[in-house]
Structure formats: structure tokens, C-alpha cells
């Protein structure tokens, strides 16, 4: 149980285009999902927290107009990187919180974004 999927697993796009990444909790409902970014040889950095049915909460320094997050259902959150540039190339990882009482997060396998 507690499986989180991401789609696509990797994507290559041209500079200036937008890319959408999906995060799904397959066997549980997630009221809260999180989006992280990880550059090579670095740790995960939280970008935003997504609560179902409400606006996402962005971490300091993360542009909300560039990284659009939608959490329309209890099993799906999407991250859209708008007008992507080479510096946005990174490993994007989502996670979902299954049970508030245990506070455990389950992570997706990640999406490798390369912007040419």
C-alpha cells in the first residue's frame, strides 16, 4: 500500500514551453501533497505544499506564477512549469501524506526535467 506515482518519469522540452507533471496517490487519499526539487548532488528542497481544494503554499523564493500547482482531487496533484528555461532542469519529486496521525510521507519516483 501507500503507492505514489508520477508521470512522466522524464521529459525533455524546449526553452519557453510549459511542462505538466502529475502526481497520483494510487491506493489512498491524500489531503496534502508536497512538491520537491532536487538538483544533482544536492538534497531535496521543498517547493510547495498542496492541499486538496485550496491554493498551494509556496516556500520562500519559489515563484508561484512559474510553478503552478493544482490539487483538484484527493488523489491527484499537478505541477506545471511554465515558460521553462534550462535552469529549471532538475529532478522533481512529489510526496503525499497518508495519515495525519502518523505523519508519514510517501514519495513518487520523481520526474527528470531537461530544458534545452
Partner 1 sequence: DAKTTQPNSMESNEEEPVHLPCNHSTISGTDYIHWYRQLPSQGPEYVIHGLTSNVNNRMASLAIAEDRKSSTLILHRATLRDAAVYYCILRGIGGSNYKLTFGKGTLLTVNP
Give contact residues for partner 1 (rule: CB under 8 A). 4, 6, 32, 34, 36, 43-46, 49, 51, 57, 91, 93-95, 97, 100, 102-110, 112
Residues with Cβ within 8 Å of residue 76, at least 6 apart in sequence: 22, 23, 24, 25
Task: Output 43 or 87, the one with its CB closest to partner 1.
Answer: 43
Grid cell listed for 85: 528555461
In angstroms, give the least distance from the CB of 10 to partner 1: 10
Task: Output 70 or 105, the one with its CB closest to partner 1.
Answer: 105
In angstroms, give the least distance from the CB of 23 to partner 1: 10
In angstroms, give the least distance from the CB of 77 to partner 1: 14
Grid cell listed for 36: 520537491
Amino acid at each position: 500500500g501507500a503507492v505514489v506515482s508520477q508521470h512522466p518519469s522524464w521529459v525533455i522540452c524546449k526553452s519557453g514551453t510549459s511542462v505538466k507533471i502529475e502526481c497520483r496517490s494510487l491506493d489512498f487519499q491524500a489531503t496534502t501533497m508536497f512538491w520537491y526539487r532536487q538538483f544533482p548532488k544536492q538534497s531535496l528542497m521543498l517547493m510547495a505544499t498542496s492541499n486538496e481544494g485550496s491554493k498551494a503554499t509556496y516556500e520562500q523564493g519559489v515563484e508561484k506564477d512559474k510553478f503552478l500547482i493544482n490539487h483538484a482531487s484527493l488523489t491527484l496533484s499537478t505541477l506545471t512549469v511554465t515558460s521553462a528555461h534550462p535552469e529549471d532542469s532538475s529532478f522533481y519529486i512529489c510526496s503525499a501524506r497518508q495519515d495525519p496521525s502518523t505523519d508519514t510521507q510517501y514519495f513518487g519516483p520523481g520526474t527528470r526535467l531537461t530544458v534545452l
